[in-house]
Structure 1
Amino acid sequence: MITVRSARLDEADILADIGLRAWEKAMIPVGETGTMVEYARRAFVNFTHTSWITISVVEISGDPVGWASREELDENITDLWVDPLHQGKGLGKLLLAEMEAEIEHQGFTQARMQTHALNAEAVGFFEKHGYAVHWLTVVYNPKLDRDVQTIGLSKQLSVEKETVSYGQEF
C-alpha cells in the first residue's frame, strides 16, 4: 500500500539517506558527486533533523521511499527525492500532487521550484507535470570553485478569483 504522510523526527536519518541516494543519481551526469558527497550528506542530515516538520513522506507498506518539502512553507518546493530503487513507479507524481495541494490550500496560486539546469531528469519530470521554465541563472559556487547553472520552473495551480463588491455589475 502506498501512502503519503507527514514526516517524523525519528526517521530523519532514513530520509537523509534517501535524499542522498537520489541526489547522487541525479548529479552523476552533471559531475557534481565526487567533490560534493560529504557536503551533501551533512546537508541532508541537517535538513531532515531540523526541518522534518516541513517534509511529506511517500511510503510503501510503511517503509519511507521518498520525500518532498517546502522549506519555508510557501509556494516553493525545495526538495523532491525518491529512492532510485523506487523511481518510475509514480511516487514522485504523488509527492508533487501533495505539495501542490498544500500550496493551493494555503492560498498560493502558483507552485515554484528550482534545480540544477543540467539535471535533465528533474527538469523533464516537472515539465511533464505542467511546469514551465521561467529563468536561468549562473552563480559562482565557492565549494565547487566554479559557476553553476540553476533553472527556475513554475506552474499555475489556480486563478485568483475576482471579488465583487456590493452594487458592482458583472
Structure 2
Amino acid sequence: MTIIRYAHGGDIPVLAEIGMRAWEQAVTGVADLDALRDNARNAFVHFLQGNWVTVAVAETGGRIAGWAAREKMDEEITDLWVDPAMQRQGVGSALLAAIEDEMRRATFETVDLQTHARNAAALAFFRKHGYAVNWLSVAYSPKLDRNVESVGLRRQLTEDQPIGYGPGGF
C-alpha cells in the first residue's frame, strides 16, 4: 500500500537520491550522464532544500518510493520522480492522484507539466492518466550544449459546466 504524506527536511537526502536515479533513467541516451551527474545532484539538493514544503512523498512498505512537487503551488507540477525499482507499482499514479486532488481543492481547473520530448515512459504515463500535449518547444540548453525538445502536457481537472438555465443549460 502506498501512503502519501508531505515531506520534511530530514527526507532531503533520500528524495535527492530518488530524483537522481529516476533522472538518470529518463535522460539515458539523451544526455552525457557523466558530464551532468554532479550538476544534477546539486540541482536536486538545492531544489529540495528550498522547496521541501511543496513536496508530496510516496511511501511503500515504510520506505520512500517517490515524490512530486508544485514549486509555486500553482497549476504546474514541476517534479514527479519515482525510484526506478518502484516504478510500475502504482507509486506514480498515487502521487499524481494526490497532487491532482490537492489542486482541485485549491480550485484549479487544469494541471500542467512538462518533460523532454524523448522521455517516452513519462509521456506514456501521463497520457494514460488523461494528459494531452499542449505545446512543443525546442530550446538551446547551455548545460547540454544542444537543442532540447520539450513537451508541455495539460489535463482538465474540472468538467465544463453547462451555461444557461435548467438541467443541461439551454
TM-score, normalised to structure 2, is: 0.92
2:124 is matched by which residue type in structure 1? G
1:40-55 matches, cutoff 5 A: 40-55=40-55
Q: Residue type of the partner of 1:45? A: V
Cα gap change, 1:110 to 1:32, in 2 (>3 Å)? farther
Compared CA separation, residues 37 and 95, structure 1 to 2 (3 A): same
Give CA deviations for 1:66-121 in whole Å, capped at 9, x if unaligned.
Answer: 00001110110110000011111010000000111111111111111000111111
Q: Which residue of 2 aligns with 1:131?
A: 131
Assess if the C-alpha contact under 8 Å between 1:109 and 1:160 holds in 2.
Answer: no
Displacement after TM superposition at 1:160 (Å): 5.5
Partner of 1:151 in structure 2? 151
User: How far 1:30 moved relative to its partner?
Assistant: 2.1
CA distance in structure 1 between the aligned counterparts of 2:89 and 2:134, rounded to whole angstroms: 28
AA partner of residue 6 (structure 2): S
> 1:62-77, aligned counterparts within 5 Å?
62-77=62-77
Deviation per residue, 1:108-154 (Å, 9 max, x gap): 11111000111111111101110000110011111111111110000
Distance in 2 (CA, whole Å) between partners of 1:42 and 1:11 is 16
Q: Secondary structure at the match of 1:75?
A: coil
Provide the residue aligned with 2:27 in structure 1: 27
> How far off is 1:162 after superposition?
6.9
Look up the SS of the partner of 2:139 in the other structure.
strand
AA in 2 matched with 1:37: R
> Is residue 57–residue 95 contact of structure 1 (8 Å, CA) maintained in 2?
yes
Unaligned runs of 5+ in 1: none
Query: In structure 2, how many angstroms separate the alpha carbons of the residues matched to 1:110 and 1:8?
Result: 27
Number of positions where the alignment pairs a residue of Structure 1 with one of Structure 2: 167
For 2:153 and 2:29, how far apart are their aligned partners in 1? 20
- Taking a change above 3 Å as real, the CA distance of residues 14 and 159 of structure 1, as seen in their structure-2 partners, is same
In structure 2, the residue matched to 1:118 is 118
Instruction: Tell me which residue corresponds to 2:101.
Output: 101
Larger mean CA deviation between 49-58 and 29-38 belongs to 29-38
Relative to structure 1, the CA distance from residue 132 to residue 32 in structure 2 (aligned partners, 3 Å threshold; closer, same or farther) is farther
- Asked whether the equivalents of residues 137 and 150 of structure 2 are also in contact (C-alpha less than 8 Å), the reply is yes
Deviation at 1:34, TM superposition (A): 2.9
User: Which secondary structure does the structure 2 equivalent of 1:80 belong to?
Assistant: strand
